[in-house]
Every structure is written in structure tokens, then in C-alpha cells.
Structure 1
Amino acid sequence: MFQLKTVLTLVATAALAACTTLGPNYQAPAANAPVAYRAAAPAAGAELQRDWWLMFGDAQLNALEAQALQASPTLAAAAARIERARAVFGATKADQLPRVDVGANAGGLRTSAKATTTPVLQGHPVVFEGETFGLSASIGWEIDLWGRVKRQNEAAQAQLDASTLDAAAARVALTADVAAAYWQWRALADEAAALQRLRDSRAKAFQVAQTRFDAGSSTTQDLERVRAELAAADADVADLPRRQALVMNQIAALTGQAAAELKLQATYSLPAPPQIRAGLPSELLQRRPDLAQSLAQLHAATAQVGIAEAAFYPSIRLTGSFGYSSEDLGSLISAPARLYNIGPSISLPLFEGGRNKANLAGTKASVDESLAAFRGRMLQALREVDDALAELQGRATVVEAQNRTLASSGQALSVAKSRYDKGAVSYLDVTEAERTPLATERALAQLRGAQWAATAQLVKALGGGWGAKVEAQGG
């Protein structure tokens, strides 16, 4: 009874002492975001949802995104990291509870007649021989006096959060990369059509130039100039399959399949991308999972400081065992065969060669490193949004200028055709007038692809709708 009271007293004392948790409590640092982005952001636009690509209504893009989410090795690896972190968290959480073990044993026993500890009776060694049977249960529990176990759980939970956010960031990056590659492929299809029209025009111009040269009405210089332009167009047409194959290979890799298995239906006339609301820089922390992941890693590093500080203080464990031991199996479960052992054990570090001090310094340095990493990632996030907005704004200005060029050159081509119909100019003048509008069509196809690439960049920079997912869950 005395021992039981002692144990209960220790437990009560430990419960009061457990209110002490060493180490700093985590506090999220200030984001220090500017009031607005440097580049002009549209005041209105589409709001990104979790499956943001659905807003474009492109069945092929939807199918590619679904394939990527299902088969991407990158996402599979991220999911495995979540399961590993969840397992670590489960194992760490178990340290809060007592550990109970049960066991049973049976065997023969004979003591040595020659051992130093062998008892001697009347000059003869006493040897014990017989069978033994045992049944026991043991319990062990660390009293978390200084919050070490609590901080371990806190760190493990933060690491689990970081792994989950890492997977979310991987999803955002993957879906944006798939869309960017797909839109590049579509832009190449438009460019190929414009380039083929340009090449056909150059071929007709060469035929006219050759006829005029054969008739003696043009010089060798005129013929070779047109021949060179046709050769340049032929080279561009010949290079397109290589460029298209590289984009197809990229799409296949992103969607987790071999390039030979990927089949896409060519579609033309890529439209202008819709405007996407960028919001305020201060919203990035809620919109980007990689920033939230960086904060979770900072949280885990902060909790590690408390674990390192607890190593300087004594640890107390309550241990106990209860069971039965008998030479006769029939009388094993009986009062005379009962045995038990219960009591606390205390461990106090006295000399460890500066190990605990070094560990504490290392954990504090990890906090500083994680804080610097967060600030660096925040600056990078702001830059990525600004870059995408500047790219969209700049490309839109160039597209507007190219559209004016296309309109003016189209009118010039109409005049040249009208004069050709009246016999005022030769067909070579018509093909010369086609040069600018056809080249402008190709340039516009390339610019449209650049605009969509910048749109994918902006989607990724804004977090790809991850924030909308969090709000939906919170509601």
C-alpha cells in the first residue's frame, strides 16, 4: 500500500509539472508583402478554383490533366512522403501513452555447483534443479515533465502538414506545366498553318520569278532573292515537326506515359487567354501551398528547440511489472506465486561532452534557416506573379501592334490584287504584298502561345486554386 501511495503521489506531481513546456512557442512570421504588385494586375477576372483548367472548356486539356493526376510519378512520390510522415506522427504520438507488454515463459532450471555465488551447506554446494513457469505484465510510462514528448508530437504534426502541403504544391506545378505544354502544342499547330501558307506564297513567287527570268525580264539577283526566301520558308516548315515532337514528349512525360502512347487531335485558332484575378500580394500566403509548407517546416524546427532544451533536464519514468512464477504449472495462478515490482526511475544528464549544448545550437540555427527560407520563398513568389503579369501585359501590347500591322498589310494586299486584276502590276507584286500579312500571322501565332504560357505561369504563381480548396473545406 505504501508503494501504491508513492506512485500516486508521483503521478499527481508529474501532472502538475507537465504544465511546463520548454522551448519557444511557434508564431507565424510577418509576410511583409507589398501593398500591390509592380506590374499592372487586372482589377477583375476569373477566380481560380481547385481544378482551374476546367474554366477553359477544352476537352483534350481536361483529359490530359486527369491523366497526369492519376499517373504522374511526381504525385505518387509526394503521396508516399505523406504516408511516411503520417507513420512517423503515429509512432511519435504513441509516446504519450504508457507501454504495456505481456509475456509467458516455461523451461527447465539448474544452477551451477561451481559458480562463485553457489550456496554451500555443510561443505557441499547447493544445486537447484526443476521446472519454472511464469506469466507477467509490465508497464512503462515517461512523465513528460518538460514537454519533450509534447514538442515531439508538435514537430511530427508540423512535418505531416509540410508533407501534405508539398503534395499540394506538386499538384499545382504539375497541372500548370501540363497546361503550358498543351497550349504550346496548340500554338505550334497555328504557327504551322500560317507557315505553310507563307511557304506556298513563296513557292508561287518563285515560279513567277523563274518565268520572268526565263523571259529575260528580270535579273539573276531577283531570282536568287526569291529562291532564298523560299528556302528559308522550307527550312522553317521542316523544323516544325522537331519542335512539335519535343512538346509532345514533354506532355507525355508530365502525364506519366510514353510519347508513343500519346495521341492528340490537332485544333487550330488558339483564342486569347481570359484574364485571371491576381488579387493582392498579402493573399499569396493563403493561395500558395509552398509558402504554407515553408511555414510548417519553420513550425517543426521551432518545436525541435524545445526537445533539445529538455535534454538538459532529468527524465522520470514510471515502471512496473506484475505476474506469477511457479515450479508447478497447476499452481501458477495463485497468491503465493504472485510477484510484482513498481517504482520510478530518474535519469539526470551530468556529463555528455557538450552534445546537448551542440544539439540546442543546431536546432536554433535550423529555426533561423527555416525563417530565411520562408522569406526567400515569399520574395520568389512575389517575383513570379510580377513576372507573369509583366509578361501578359507586354505580350498584349505587342499583339495589339501586330494586329494593326496585319490590318494595314491586309489592305495593302487587297490593293495589290485589285491592281493585278486590272493588269497594272505583275503577280510577283501580289506575292510581295503577301509577305507581311503572312509573316504577321505566324508572329501572332507565336505571341498567342507566349500569352498562354504566361497564363500558365500566373496560375502557378498564384497557387493554382489551392486557396479556394482550403476555403471550401473550412466552410
Structure 2
Amino acid sequence: MKKIIICLFLSAILGGCSIYRTYERPAMEMTDSLYRLPMEPADTVSIAFLSWRELFTDPKLQQLIETGINNNTDLNIARLRVKEAEALLTSAKLAYLPSISLTPQGTLKSEKGNKAVKTYNFAVAADWELDIFGRVTNAKREAKAVLEQSEAYRQAVQTQLVATIANSYYTLLMLDEQLEISKRTAENWSENLRAMQALKKAGQTTDMAVAQTEASKLSVDASLLSIERQISEIENTLSALLGFVSQSIERSTLNCQSFPDTLTVGVPLQLLQRRPDIKQSEAELAAAFYITNQARASFYPSITLSGSGGWTNAVGTAITNPGQWLFSAVGSLVQPLFNRGQNIANLKVAKAQQEAALLSFRQSLLDAGTEVNNALAQWQMARAKLKIDQQQVLSLQSAVRSSELLMRYSSQNYLEVITARQTLLQAELDVVSDRFDEIQGVINLYHALGGGYDSEYTK
């Protein structure tokens, strides 16, 4: 009988070896082909390795980002989640130690006027589960994966915060430029309206032409109000991100901004180490892996060593003074029998959750590749379009000068000069929009590659 028990015990141990396996990253065949543009084999440098201070060199923007990192509510909540996960990991590590309890008791008993009998018992008990089948180990590893997941979430919140603050800041700079150009456009239309009214008095145009010009001027006036409203709304949103009440945001100008002429994205494999959301997704997969191991461990017996010791004056039915020391030790083995069906169901649930986590991890890689490709295309197309629009502005500036000379030395109508100016102002608006699109492409690419968090803010 003893041999049978020993054989069963050894087979259980050998069968439980699989539950001690550690998580290994699954093979991702599509990793090398995430980027559409061909990359040089030696191109392992990525702008994501730049700190946000190196990429965003505007001192006023740097101050806003630092304020946001210190004050933003979502980021501070993410930091608290990291602390919570650290505490859970500490608790999981303490599960390796025995649990000790102190239970002092005392009674005072008196019957029919007899002398009171005092009974006291100072007992200390300890329980210690032997982690032969990996339940405690896998719980600790799961807690560690949850901590990594919380830290990755904090990094993801920070990268998103940095990108949002930068985008909002540069949007304000773009709107400032558009507001100035629109004001010049409004002045141009006012000139145009006065000229049309003078031509009408001279009988050289109609009431309809004057009305159309006035309507165009009013449209520009309305656009000025719209831009001012957008500026106010973005300042309010940015103030909330920074943890402030709504206020005006101090800023520089769009023309003062500078960025690298070339942007490098590195190799796709770096996304696994750099992108916080991918690291978070992989940590979720690792946690699911260890939860599955715990579900497997439920099929095996749990072994617990218990012991107690103490000082008492109650020995059996006799009361002795002074008291005596009492000690006991017990070993127990509990093998699940009747809950096997529930354990099987729990294992199926854990496996399904692990498979879902694996699919989410794969999809996070695909989404990251898409974001990098889109941001890179945005930056490249915006730069190309910006060059074309800048050439267009130069041509229109020449056209305006020519029209002014023709008006001065020929019979050309002043309205043609105003029209040329109006076309130039619209082209200048396009340049501002393209410049912002280019900057936004830099920000989006930086964020897509996992840039925006620094080691000094990891705790």
C-alpha cells in the first residue's frame, strides 16, 4: 500500500512539472514586415529613443509637458495602480512564508461560592503550505506580470499625454497664424468692398456685385470668430490636462519651431521593447499564462504543515499551577476529488482567456505597425505638399507685385490687385495648415514608435 501511495505521489510530481514552466514570448512571424517602406538592415536607430525634451525643443512647450506629467489626473491614477500592483506582488511573495497566529485565552470560573478557578492558555499556531505543485509560485509570477502590465499602462498614459499636449500646443500655434492671416484677409475684403461701392457709384458695377463682395467679407468675419472659439476651447482642454482651471496658454510662434529633417523608425522588433501598449498586452498574456498554470495546479493535492505550541495550566481535566508547555505538529495532504468537474471548467476558462490574450497581443502589433505607417506617410506627404505650397506662395507674391505695377502704369482695375492678394492669403493659409500637418506627423510617428516616457518618471 505504501509503495502504491509513493508511486502515485511521484507520478503527480512528474505530471506537475509542466505547471512550473515560465512564460515565453510566442513567435510573431509578421514582425519583420510591419513597416511598408523597406528599411536598411543597419537602421536600428529610432526617434523613439529621443527624450521628449530632445524632440520638442520649445521651452514653453517643455514647461507645459513637465507640468502635465506632474499634475495630470489620469497619469497620477496610473502611478497609484503601479503602487497597488507592487503591494500585491509583495503579498504574493509573502505567501511562501508560514502564517503564524497568537491566540491567548483566559477564563475565570466560580461555582456555589467556591474559590474561583483561573484557566489560561497562551497558544501560537503556524501553517505552512508546501509549494510542491506550483500554486504559490504561479500566483507570484502572475502578480509580477500584473505589475509589469500596470507599469506599461503608466507609460502608455504618459506617452499619450505628451503627444496630446504637444498636439494641442502646435494646434494653438497654427490657429494663431491662421487668425493673423484671416485678419489680413478681412482687411483685404474690406478694401474690396470699398472699391466695389466706389465703382457702383461710378456706374461701373451692379448692386449684386457689391452684395456678393459684402457677403464674402462677412463670411471672413465669421471665420475669425470661429478661430477665436477654437483657440479658447483648446486652451480650456489643455488647462484641464495640466490640472489647472481654464486659462490662457503662454506660447511662442509656429515659425520658431524646428524638427529633424530626417526621421528614423528603426526596426519593427523594437516596437516589442518600446511601445507601452504592446508591453501591456504581452504582460496580460503572461498573466493569463500563469493563471492557466494555477488552474492546472488545482488538480494536484495541497500539502500543509501545521504546528502549535504554548503555555497552559489546563492539562486534560486537571488545573495545574504553574502551567506546562504543550507542542503539536500535523502534516496534511488534501487531494481534490469531488470538485474535479469544476477544476476542468476553470482550466477551460483559463485556456480560453489565454488564447484571447494571445490574439490581442498579435493585434496590438498589427495596430502599432499601421500607426507607424500612417504617421510616416503623413509626415512625408505633408513635407512634399508644403514645398509645393511654398512655391505657390512665391509665385503668387510675384503675381501680386505684377498686378500692383500694372495697376499703377496701366488701366488694370484695382479689383484685380485685391483678387491677387486674396489668392495669396489663401495660399498662405494652406502653408500654415501643411506646416502643422508636418509637425503632427512627427508627433504621431514619435508616439507610434513608443516615444514620450523617460526613466526619471518611471516611479
TM range (shorter): 0.7 to 0.9
Q: Which has the larger displacement, 372-381 or 27-36?
A: 27-36
Is it true that 1:38 corresponds to 2:46 in the alignment?
no
Corresponding residue of 1:120: none
Counterpart amino acid of residue 93 in structure 1: K
Tell me by how many angstroms 1:56 deviates: 3.0
The answer to whether the 8 Å contact 2:138/2:293 transfers is: yes
Between the aligned partners of 1:256 and 1:41, the Cα distance in structure 2 is 41
Corresponding residue of 1:64: 64
Corresponding residue of 2:362: 375
Name the count of aligned residue pairs: 439
* Structure 2: runs of 5 or more not aligned: 1-5
Q: Which has the larger displacement, 66-75 or 273-282?
A: 273-282
Corresponding residue of 1:91: 91
Corresponding residue of 1:26: 23
Corresponding residue of 2:52: 52
Tell me by how many angstroms 1:412 deviates: 0.7
SS of equivalent residue, structure 2 residue 32? coil
Between the aligned partners of 1:215 and 1:87, the Cα distance in structure 2 is 86
Counterpart amino acid of residue 437 in structure 1: L
The answer to whether the 8 Å contact 1:104/1:135 transfers is: yes
**Per-residue CA distance 1:172-197 (angstroms, 9 max, x = gap):** 11111110111111111011111111
- Alpha-carbon spacing, 1:242–1:425, altered in 2? closer, same or farther (3 Å): same
Corresponding residue of 2:255: 269
Between the aligned partners of 1:448 and 1:52, the Cα distance in structure 2 is 20
Q: Which has the larger displacement, 282-291 or 16-25?
A: 16-25
Tell me by how many angstroms 1:282 deviates: 2.1
Is it true that 1:300 corresponds to 2:287 in the alignment?
yes
Corresponding residue of 1:7: none
The answer to whether the 8 Å contact 1:198/1:438 transfers is: yes
Between the aligned partners of 2:230 and 2:147, the Cα distance in structure 1 is 42
The answer to whether the 8 Å contact 1:54/1:62 transfers is: no
The answer to whether the 8 Å contact 1:320/1:342 transfers is: yes
Corresponding residue of 1:463: 450
Between the aligned partners of 1:399 and 1:45, the Cα distance in structure 2 is 26
SS of equivalent residue, structure 1 residue 152? helix
- Alpha-carbon spacing, 1:41–1:430, altered in 2? closer, same or farther (3 Å): farther
Corresponding residue of 2:386: 399
Counterpart amino acid of residue 96 in structure 1: Y
Counterpart amino acid of residue 37 in structure 1: Y
Counterpart amino acid of residue 75 in structure 1: L
Counterpart amino acid of residue 27 in structure 1: E
The answer to whether the 8 Å contact 2:126/2:306 transfers is: yes
User: Which of 167, 183, 202 does residue 196 from structure 1 map onto?
Assistant: 183
Is it true that 1:73 corresponds to 2:73 in the alignment?
yes
Tell me by how many angstroms 1:259 deviates: 1.3
The answer to whether the 8 Å contact 1:22/1:146 transfers is: no
Is it true that 1:426 corresponds to 2:417 in the alignment?
no
Tell me by how many angstroms 1:35 deviates: 3.7
Between the aligned partners of 1:157 and 1:104, the Cα distance in structure 2 is 37
Q: What is the RMSD of the two structures over their aligned residues, measured on CA atoms?
A: 2.9
Corresponding residue of 1:168: 155
Tell me by how many angstroms 1:221 deviates: 3.5
Tell me by how many angstroms 1:226 deviates: 2.2
Corresponding residue of 1:4: none
The answer to whether the 8 Å contact 1:138/1:319 transfers is: yes
| TM-score computed with the length of structure 2 as normaliser | 0.88
SS of equivalent residue, structure 1 residue 37? coil
| TM-score computed with the length of structure 1 as normaliser | 0.85
The answer to whether the 8 Å contact 1:405/1:440 transfers is: yes
Tell me by how many angstroms 1:270 deviates: 5.4
Is it true that 1:106 corresponds to 2:103 in the alignment?
no
**Per-residue CA distance 1:150-179 (angstroms, 9 max, x = gap):** 111111111111111110111111111110
Counterpart amino acid of residue 24 in structure 2: Q
- Alpha-carbon spacing, 1:430–1:386, altered in 2? closer, same or farther (3 Å): same
Q: Which has the larger displacement, 279-288 or 378-387?
A: 279-288
Counterpart amino acid of residue 32 in structure 2: P
The answer to whether the 8 Å contact 1:36/1:280 transfers is: no
User: Which of 329, 332, 337 does residue 342 from structure 1 map onto?
Assistant: 329
Counterpart amino acid of residue 247 in structure 1: I
Identity of aligned residues (%): 26
Between the aligned partners of 1:306 and 1:287, the Cα distance in structure 2 is 28
Between the aligned partners of 1:74 and 1:329, the Cα distance in structure 2 is 65
The answer to whether the 8 Å contact 2:58/2:257 transfers is: no
**Per-residue CA distance 1:341-384 (angstroms, 9 max, x = gap):** 10201211110262111111111111101100101111110111
SS of equivalent residue, structure 2 residue 412? coil
